Amino acid sequence: VDDLPRTDKIYTDLRFFEQHFKGVMPLEVLIDTKKKNGLTGMRALAVFEKVDSLAQFIAAQPEMAKPLSLAEGLKFAKQAFYEMDSTQYLLPNTFDGAFVGEYLKPSADTSSGGTMTNILRSFMDSNRQVTRLSVSMKDVGTEKLPFLLDKIQKRSDQLFDTSKYKVTLTGTSITFLEGSRFIISGLKESVFWAFLLIALCMLYLFRSWRIVLCSLIPNVIPLLVTAGVMGWVGLPLKPSTVLVFSVALGIAVDITIRFLVNYKQELPELNYDPVLTVKSSIRHTGLSIVYTSLVLTAGFIIFCASTFGGTVSLGWLTSLTLLSATLTNLLLLPVLLLLFSPANKKLS
């Protein structure tokens, strides 16, 4: 949603609901009594008192709307039983036990029923064992969401004995959080495997660990620069920005290989003099590397004309990474080759 233009109707509608209704992201809290028919009769009163306490705690959070649960339905039913007396908007007590029991009594025919039966189906399973609490919340982001969910989980553990009840947080909000975690985990894995495969390819081509080290360092720095710029401008990791690292790394390594292949070919011709070989490699490949990088940068920078934020981020971040990689490969890579290459010694 954050990638949509600020004037887009979907974006403005969602922000309207967040401002006036505290969001539209659903969060579900499942309470399992671990007993069949554990939510029927008088036994259910204690459970719904705890559910109501948890609902009040959630409603007190500024990012949360007022939750819906079977406890709210019972309070409304009691108020209706007492002719809509607002002072009776309370959970039924032991005095109202028979009244509550009639509404929570399992029905032999579950295919039909009144309004209360439909409510029961929505907030309770057929075994009368599990009930749920539903609430809408704001899009608070991946940084704040774990703390908010942890706060709710701790409060539920205080209210419900974990040996008798099982409380589970679920819903789209949880899926969103887990998706963000998978994105970050996938980024780490993809970058790790990319560097490992690149290192193996370099080792196979040049048969030298010094060359492998020289080739990886100039390609790590552009990724760090891009990550730093993302943090500086407040751009989070998401599918569109995660792609930048893998794509740009592959292109940057191509620049490195072009320079190193030329270096390896000219080294015997120049009597294994690393200084002369580096100068010759820069003279022969430097201009073509610059032209290639400019063409690729121009191709990616076109994405910045898009109105979708994810495409814009992909365009300028990839361009930034490519330009940084060009500079490091033309400036830092020759220095590393001179530093790690022994003079007048043949590369194995």
Q: Which of 104, 137, 170 is the last residue of a domain?
A: 170
Statement to judge: residues 327 and 197 lie in one domain: yes
Write out the chain's pLDDT in tens, 348 residues: 667 777 778 778 878 887 877 778 888 999 999 888 888 767 778 888 899 999 999 999 888 888 988 888 888 878 877 878 888 888 887 777 666 556 555 555 555 555 556 767 788 888 888 999 999 888 777 778 888 889 999 999 999 988 889 999 988 878 877 777 787 788 778 888 888 888 888 888 778 888 888 888 898 899 899 989 988 988 877 777 878 888 888 888 888 888 888 888 888 888 888 888 889 989 988 899 999 899 999 999 999 888 888 888 889 999 999 999 999 999 999 998 888 776 544 443
170, 204, 233 — which closes off a domain?
A: 170
Do 159 and 250 lie in one domain? The reply is no
- Burial of 133 from C-beta contacts in 10 A (0-12 / 13-18 / 19+): buried
Listed in order, strand segments (DSSP E) in the chain are 25-32, 68-69, 130-137, 166-170
Same domain, 70 and 139: yes
Q: Is there a single domain that holds both residue 58 and residue 30? A: yes
Do 111 and 206 have their domain in common?
A: no
Residues 265 and 220 reside in one and the same domain = yes
Does residue 164 sit in the same domain as residue 243? Answer: no
Q: Are residues 18 and 166 in the same domain?
A: yes
Q: Which CATH number fits the domain that encloses residue 211?
A: 1.20.1640.10
Tell whether 112 is covered by a domain: yes
* 194 and 334 share one domain: yes
Angle in degrees, 0-180, between the axes of helices 70-81 and 115-123, rounded to the nearest 10: 160
* 27 located within any domain: yes
Whether residue 252 sits in one domain with residue 333: yes
Q: Which residues contact 227 (CB under 8 A, 6 or more apart)?
A: none
Residues 6+ apart with CB under 8 A from 44: 38, 100, 104
Residue 345 lies in a domain: no
Spatial CB neighbours of 217, under 8 Å, sequence gap ≥ 6: 332, 336
For the entire predicted model, the pTM comes to 0.66
**Token digits of residue 242:** 């995660």
Domain-terminating residue out of 113, 141, 170: 170
Using CA atoms, how far apart are residues 250 and 256, in angstroms rounded to an integer?
10
Provide the Cα torsion 59, 62, 64, 68; round to 10°.
Answer: 20
What's the structural domain count of the chain? 2
**Is 176 among the domain residues?**
no
1: in domain: no
3 state DSSP class of 280? helix
- Residue 13 shares a structural domain with residue 69: yes
Domain of 122? 9-170
Residue 162 shares a structural domain with residue 16: yes
